Amino acid sequence: MSRTRGRRPAWVIGFILYALLMATGTHWPSLRIETPELPRADLLVHLCAFGTWTALFLAAGWFGPWNSWRNIAIGHLAAILYAGIDEASQGIPGLNRTVAWDDFAFNAIGVWGGTLLVTLVRSWRLERGERRLSDDSD
């Protein structure tokens, strides 16, 4: 598989490092993000964390060229699945973490945002004539 047909090593490394950091943070025992100025500040963290995770995941090109519809669609579904698994796994006894639907909802909104960002970058680059990385036939 050539470099233009699959994963991009620098993005893969960046994603793996970020994913490890995020998994550590989301499973750190008894971690609470609270501030009197912003009620439920943790929801903003959920949104930004999963948006970044998704953008890096898609940029790595796990399912084909980073800008192919195949990579974006399958990657988006995989990110939603991971967001649910990550949230549910915080219920492991001893972690003293909260599993909540609103947390998952903000995870999912972050995933949508990360996917939107990659899709916009894709469109911008295609407008500039950089179709060479795409395997789309549509």
- pLDDT, one tens digit per residue, over 40-54 is 888 999 999 999 999
Q: Which residue has the tokens 């492991």?
A: 92
For the chain, the helix, strand and coil percentages under 3-state DSSP, each to the nearest 5: 65, 0, 35
d(CA 82, CA 111): 10
Could you tell me which of 104, 110, 136, 4 has the C-alpha nearest to residue 57? 110
By the 10 Å C-beta count (0-12 exposed, 13-18 middle, 19+ buried), 18 is classed as middle
- pLDDT, one tens digit per residue, over 119-131 is 999 999 888 876 5
Residue 135 DSSP class: -
pLDDT bin (cut points 50, 70, 90) of residue 66 is very high
Rounded mean pLDDT of 50-74? 97
Length of the chain: 138
- The answer to whether the CB of 54 falls within 8 A of the CB of 75 is yes
The answer, yes or no, to whether residue 102 has pLDDT greater than 60, is: yes
Half-sphere exposure (Cβ direction) of 17: Cα atoms closer than 13 Å: 6
Rounded mean pLDDT of 74-81? 98
